[in-house]
Structure 1
Amino acid sequence: MLPDIVTFWHGPLDPMRQTCLRSQIAAGHKVTVYSFDTIPGLPEGVGNAEAEAILPHAFSEKLRPAQPDGSWRDWTTLQFSDFFRMRLMTARAGLWLDADVLLLKPVEIDPAKPYFAWERVHLIGNSVLYLPPNDPIVGAFERLMAQDELEPDWLALRHRLTFAWHRLTRRSKRVSDIRLALYGPAALTALVRRYGELRYALPRKSFYAVHDKPKRFFEPSDFSALVNDPDIIGFHLSAKGRAKLPPVAGSLYAWAVDRFGTGACKSAV
């Protein structure tokens, strides 16, 4: 099955993510970006949908209070998206891909089975994610989201101790403050282990061959082995501040821009 691709975005799109979204369209997928506001620079062919219908903006107040002007604080967007993708699973919306996933080929899934890949040796990534709506991981997140405190029952011991120290020293009463990616890959990995779903995890290189080695994408290199490897479906990119910079000649990034073009852009509707 060739699933629809869905994701969430907050703010303007940089050139690197525009290229990634074009690659997803080029692979033959229907792509929809959910947002609360207009997205400047949305590539032609990429749909836009209202995020409020999936997870209300007000949910972010459980994470970190907004700035006085109403804008989200530092990592609120990241943590909000961790919950948003689970709500999309509940809604049977499709396959979640982060906006910085560059596809080399179509992604095929069995809608009755989970779909994700190892990001590192002991960590499953959530930048590429599909779960059936009745999957126990989806249920665990739904129960968590019903809480005001958003304190997972799968927290690692070190995180529980950190949170206890924060409360004791009155540094914070929000568990979301103790770790940036608290509800992301670490949570998914813990739940995958709890519910016996490790057998569904794809090999790391399926999507994470360059993730922790951004030089392999942004700097000149011989990348022929990467783009010709039949086991590599795409790349989850870690920009490290380079997403707005022009591609360097001879880099995998330059190849991607050339292959998927600059294309036309549209405003979100």
Structure 2
Amino acid sequence: MRTDIVTFWHGPLDALRRLCLRSQVAAGHKVTIYSFDPIAQLPEGVENAEAEPILPHSFAERLRPMTDGVWIDRTMLQFSDFFRMRLMAKQAGLWLDADVLLLRPVEIDPAKPYFAWEQPRQLGNSVLYLPSADPIVTAFEALMAQDELTPDWLSFRHRFTYMLHKLRGTRRISDVRLAIFGPAALTALARRSGELQYALPKKSFYAVHAEPKLFFEPRDFSPLVGDGEIIGFHISPKGRGNQPPVPGSLHAWAAARFGA
């Protein structure tokens, strides 16, 4: 089944993410990006929807205080960890981060989870689908009903770290580790619910994630685009989102294929 693609963004979109969104549309998916404010320069075929009905802006205050309503990058990252789970609960579609470049359509079984290994022992949540009644979704729903947002799936190491932080005055679990609600949480919950069996191989989406030079620098990228098991690339530009494509790079190839 070719499902709708959904994501969340806060602030302006850079050129790299607009390129990735175009690739998702080109793969034949309906793409919706949720935001609190209208997003300018969205690619043709990408819809912009209100984020507030899915998860209120005020939820960010439970993660970390804001100054004059301004979010920092950590706030957006952690907020999006919860936002994607709310979308799963509402059966909105397949979550793709805005920096996932698709080479081909994504086909899912709506009754089964869909994700891939990002590291040898950790799942990625940049590509995620879960049935609405999945144990991972219900675990996040239960977490969000708490005041302190303290997961019951924390590893011993994270519980110990949090205890030390509390002794030093830290009260929010969100301050302990940046990705505490992200891939580490997904991996722990998938293990607890016996769903690791559904994980796709790392190269399905994360072939260039840990090595961005494979995307941004000139090299022979034909083995990547010619590999039928690679569905897309999670790029994670890390400040290079508006960098012009370098001739001979995978970035330049993608810009030529999907439009600069």
TM-score higher than 0.5: yes
Q: Please report how far the alpha carbon of residue 73 of structure 1 lies from its aligned counterpart in structure 2 after TM superposition.
A: 2.8
Q: Out of 25-34 and 40-49, give the one that drifted further.
A: 40-49
User: Is the 1:117–1:128 contact (alpha carbons within 8 Å) kept by the matching residues of 2?
Assistant: yes
Rounded Cα–Cα distance in structure 1 between residues aligned with 2:80 and 2:98 = 11
Equivalent residue number for residue 114 of structure 1 = 113
Equivalent residue number for residue 25 of structure 2 = 25
Equivalent residue number for residue 241 of structure 1 = 239
Rounded Cα–Cα distance in structure 2 between residues aligned with 1:89 and 1:163 = 28
Equivalent residue number for residue 82 of structure 1 = 81
Equivalent residue number for residue 156 of structure 1 = 155
Rounded Cα–Cα distance in structure 2 between residues aligned with 1:42 and 1:102 = 15
SS of the equivalent of 1:43 reads: coil
SS of the equivalent of 2:52 reads: helix
Rounded Cα–Cα distance in structure 1 between residues aligned with 2:213 and 2:44 = 29
Unaligned 5+ runs, structure 1: 263-269
Equivalent residue number for residue 13 of structure 1 = 13
Counterpart of 1:145, as a letter, is M
Correspondence 1:1-269 to 2 at 5 A: 1-67=1-67, 69-170=68-169, 172-262=170-260
SS of the equivalent of 1:52 reads: coil
User: Is the 1:65–1:73 contact (alpha carbons within 8 Å) kept by the matching residues of 2?
Assistant: no
Rounded Cα–Cα distance in structure 1 between residues aligned with 2:108 and 2:3 = 7
Q: Out of 203-212 and 158-167, give the one that drifted further.
A: 158-167
Rounded Cα–Cα distance in structure 2 between residues aligned with 1:240 and 1:98 = 14
Rounded Cα–Cα distance in structure 1 between residues aligned with 2:128 and 2:155 = 22
Rounded Cα–Cα distance in structure 1 between residues aligned with 2:72 and 2:214 = 31
Rounded Cα–Cα distance in structure 2 between residues aligned with 1:34 and 1:236 = 19
Rounded Cα–Cα distance in structure 2 between residues aligned with 1:173 and 1:242 = 34
Unaligned 5+ runs, structure 2: none
> Which stretches of structure 1, 4 residues or more, deviate above 2 A after TM superposition?
none
Q: Please report how far the alpha carbon of residue 240 of structure 1 lies from its aligned counterpart in structure 2 after TM superposition.
A: 2.5
**Structure 2 length as normaliser, TM-score?**
0.99
SS of the equivalent of 1:191 reads: helix
Rounded Cα–Cα distance in structure 1 between residues aligned with 2:85 and 2:93 = 11
**Structure 1 length as normaliser, TM-score?**
0.95
SS of the equivalent of 2:177 reads: coil
User: Is the 1:64–1:73 contact (alpha carbons within 8 Å) kept by the matching residues of 2?
Assistant: no
Deviation string 1:237-257 (CA, Å, 9 cap, x unpaired) is: 121321111110100001000
Aligned residues: 260
